[in-house]
Chain A
Amino acid sequence: MNESAVFWSRMLTELTLTFHIIYATIGVGVPLMIMIAQWVGMKKNDEHYILLARRITRGFVITVAVGVVTGTAIGLQLSLLWPNFMQLAGQVIALPLFMETFAFFFEAIFLGIYLYTWDRFDNQKKHMLLLVPVAIGASMSAVFITIVNSFMNTPQGFEVVNGQLVNIQPLVAMFNPSMPTKVAHVLASAYMTSAFLLASIAAYRLLKGSNHLYYKKSLFLMMKMGLIFSIATAVIGDFSGKFLAEYQPEKLAAAEWHFETEEAAPLVLMGFIDKDQNIKFAVNIPYLLSILAYGNPVAEVKGLNDFPEDEVPPLYIHYLFNIMVLIGMLMMLVSVLYVAGVWRGWKFIHCTWFRWIAVLGGPLSIIAIEAGWWLAEVGRQPWILRGYMKTAKGATISDHVDIMFLLFCILYLVLGIGSVVVLRRMYRLNPIEREIEDRMAEIGGDGR
């Protein structure tokens, strides 16, 4: 074993995935929002929503490009950095990996068609129909790749006899116990993040002096979407907790700093922990962990002390759990207030401070996504394939992984800055006011 290669392989994988999921989440969620905007525009016969769909798409192309290239990177890095793991996984889980590329292929084709046929058909319905495969392809690729990840958490569908894998059942491996909650949570949170991200753009424009109806419609639509999907995310998150209690109790216990196995377990919120496992400044909510784990306030929850010491994940995942949950709750509250405020005519939702919170919503949601993935991934340490293969066993033995890490750092820095600069310039140079004017000149309607 090459200790430094193991360490740097972990670092490089974390780096690539951390960068990739920003663009991947946008890639999964935004097509649905584009489709919904196009659909609303078609139903209401409102040019603003059609323009919204197109403007989002233009920016989306940039994020897709970065998503595609970093996705290619992680796809190859899986084999380059974890050759032993991939050799094993290739025998059991190649099917969803393979299907993911089909979904991606499908999406790529129709996105290309949609982009280059914007005004080719008079009927908006045809443009709408082109967006359906884009949204389906985007979501399906998330489904398949998340299945691969859920297999790593709860492997099944094979047997090990004398170190050989036998009796392999690809479908059983795909439909493993963590698959339903994981897939649902990933999809819902991607839709939620994308909605809040688009909402924050509209809120930002409103803050910066534009008072255009377009942004008001856009903000309201995205807040509605954000509300629906943040509720969905929270509900599925609760199921995930119950799943963990049953199948990966060590992950749940580490995330909650739950050491002693006990009945009527309290939930530890926030706080800090020192080396001797003394918890400070934490809020204890009685019974809540038992409710979260089993839906029963007096149920027994297994504690960390009952696990072998070398199979306990790092305790810092508790902070990640808190970040994820608190942001999720905050955003649900913000969107409830906004949507109810529009219906009821509350004034404060148009105040500067509230709009600033809406602007922060996008970046915060992305932080929650990152925290959630780190929690899920670090929470299954030390396993790469829980119960079967430790992470160190799966890694490459080649040297030079550290140099590759450095190269990829530079690459992601360049891509990150490049994409932000290009996106900003793209919208600056073509503000909505001008686009509407151009559009009306083109089709000869009124500007509204």
Chain B
Amino acid sequence: MSLEVLGIVVLWIFLFGYVIVASIDFGAGFFNAYSLLTGKSHILSNIIQRYLSPVWEVTNVFLVFFFVGIVGFFPKTAFYYGTVLLVPVSIAIILLAVRGSYYAFESYGSRGHKGYAFAYGVSGLLIPSSLSVVLTISEGGFVEIVDGEPILDYWALFTSTLTWSIVLLSIASVLYISSVFLTWYAWKAQDVNASELMRKYALTWAGPLMFMAAAIIIQMHEHNPDRFRNMISVWPLFGNSAILFLMTVWLIWKKRGLGLSVGLLILQFLFAFFAYGISHYPYLLYPYLTIYEGFTNQEMAIALVIAFIAGLCLLIPSLYLLFRLFVFNKDYVTGRQNDFHA
């Protein structure tokens, strides 16, 4: 494997990590707000708080890791994406800031403020939308090079059905991933009501998710035939993803093996995410920037890979500890161990 491919694989894994943990987080915020609206907050709030509190900060780091890493491995992305993304990403930053800080204000400062909960829930759906614009732009057709500087065509972007399909897909995925995870988490906490409610949401969002995914593949045929061909060429990966999806839904439907269903869900998205990424190869920004043109120099690449391996040696045991203490600790999850102090 060349260093370029290694670099993009590493970054893609981290982006995948962010997609999963952030989806759980964004979706949980939304369901929490929604349950306030429908008067079901007594069922959900507790379980959501219990999961989110120790990990909210960690979630954010996955994102930072990705964007720092991509500028490190592919410095030209700073030039292309940095120039065109000023507005959409600034909006995403503002939403992330409101969300992250108000989560802390809410849970550590003053509990039970409804305004915070709604801001938190709504921003959770707007962030994936504003970030998914980056994926749309990477497909090509929205950026023009004028005098050597990239310019984003906002009108084309906002009137494209592809843009809105990707936005809808990101929202559906967020809600689906989150509800499947919380179904399992609540079940583990022996909170039957919460688990039952989340199961309903999971089954509700399964349909729209598949529909949007299919719709996007079809639209790619119109938008960018090259990319469409590439996507078809990796059909076994998408096929696997679809099978895993059906298995997850079946398990949730039958209320069996909920832990397994979370595992299958992660695998399903892993396949789809990598199938999408591989079909994008070798472009970072179609058709201007490939991973080979944009790659950093050899010395920096080697230094980054070494730093990366050293960092992982530090992170993996720490993350393992975090998960053992909270997510996989039965006493903590069920609330029997009452060390919820902060």
Contact = CB atoms under 8 A, between A and B. Distances in A.
Interface of A: 54, 57-58, 61-62, 64-66, 68-73, 75-84, 86-92, 94-95, 97-102, 104-106, 108-113, 115-120, 133, 165, 168-171, 396-398, 400-401, 404, 407-408, 411, 414-415, 418-419, 422-423, 425-426
Given A105-B65, A422-B109, 20 more contacts: A61-B108, A62-B109, A64-B104, A65-B100, A87-B79, A91-B297, A94-B71, A95-B304, A99-B307, A109-B319, A112-B55, A112-B57, A115-B342, A117-B339, A170-B303, A408-B90, A418-B105, A419-B101, A422-B110, A426-B108
Given A90-B75, A168-B297, A400-B87, A73 B93 contact: yes
A418 B65 contact: no
Contact of B322 (A102, A109, A404, A425): A109
B296 A94 contact: yes
A426 B109 contact: yes
Contact of B299 (A58, A81, A168, A415): A168
A62 to B, nearest CB: 6
B96 interface: yes
Contact of A91 (B57, B60, B75, B77): B75
Contacts of A117: 325, 339
Nearest to A90: B75
A355 B79 CA distance: 52
12 contacts: A58-B342, A79-B81, A91-B75, A92-B300, A94-B300, A98-B69, A98-B311, A112-B54, A117-B325, A120-B337, A396-B82, A422-B110
A414 B100 CA distance: 13
A78 B342 CA distance: 34
Contacts of A71: 64
Nearest to B94: A411
B100 A87 contact: no
B43 to A, nearest CB: 23
Contact of B94 (A57, A81, A407): A407
B315 A102 contact: yes
Contacts of B93: 72-73, 76-77
Contact of A94 (B72, B108, B321, B339): B72
A102 B64 CA distance: 10
Contacts of A91: 75, 296-297, 300
Contacts of B68: 75, 94, 97-98, 100-101
A370 to B, nearest CB: 20
B182 to A, nearest CB: 19
Nearest to B72: A94
Contact of A116 (B53, B90, B299, B304): B53
A188 to B, nearest CB: 26
Interface in B49-100: 53-55, 57-58, 60-61, 63-65, 67-69, 71-87, 89-91, 93-94, 96-98, 100
B226 interface: no
Contacts of B63: 72
A24 to B, nearest CB: 14
B105 A422 contact: yes
Interface in B265-313: 296-297, 299-300, 303-304, 307-308, 311
A64 B76 CA distance: 31
A396 B78 CA distance: 10
Contact of B71 (A79, A110, A116): A79
Contacts of B78: 78-79, 83, 86-87, 90
Contacts of A86: 71, 75, 78-79, 82
B72 A97 contact: yes
B254 interface: no
Given A64-B104, A106-B314, A401-B86, A95 B72 contact: yes
A131 to B, nearest CB: 14
Contact of A80 (B65, B69, B85, B103): B85
A170 B300 contact: yes
B34 interface: no
Contacts of B90: 77, 80, 404, 407-408
B144 interface: no
Contact of B105 (A133, A407, A419): A419
Contacts of A426: 108-110
A111 to B, nearest CB: 7
B304 A98 contact: yes
Contacts of A80: 82, 85-86, 89-90
Given A92-B300, A422-B110, A116 B342 contact: yes
B297 to A, nearest CB: 5
Nearest to A74: B93
A143 B100 CA distance: 25
Contact of A57 (B67, B101, B321, B342): B342
B340 interface: yes
Contact of B341 (A62, A64, A118): A118
A99 B69 CA distance: 10
B102 interface: yes
B342 A118 contact: yes
B118 interface: no
Nearest to B62: A105
Contact of B342 (A61, A120, A165): A61
A69 B61 contact: no
B12 interface: no
B219 interface: no
B303 A95 contact: yes
B82 A75 contact: no
Contacts of A110: 318
Nearest to A115: B342
B284 to A, nearest CB: 13
A418 to B, nearest CB: 6
Nearest to B93: A73
Contacts of A62: 104-105, 108-109
Nearest to A104: B61
Given A408-B94, A411-B98, A398 B86 contact: yes
B222 interface: no
B153 interface: no
A65 B103 contact: yes
A50 to B, nearest CB: 13
Contacts of B311: 98-99, 102, 105
A54 B339 CA distance: 13
A105 B84 CA distance: 29
Contacts of B325: 113, 116-117
A77 B326 CA distance: 34
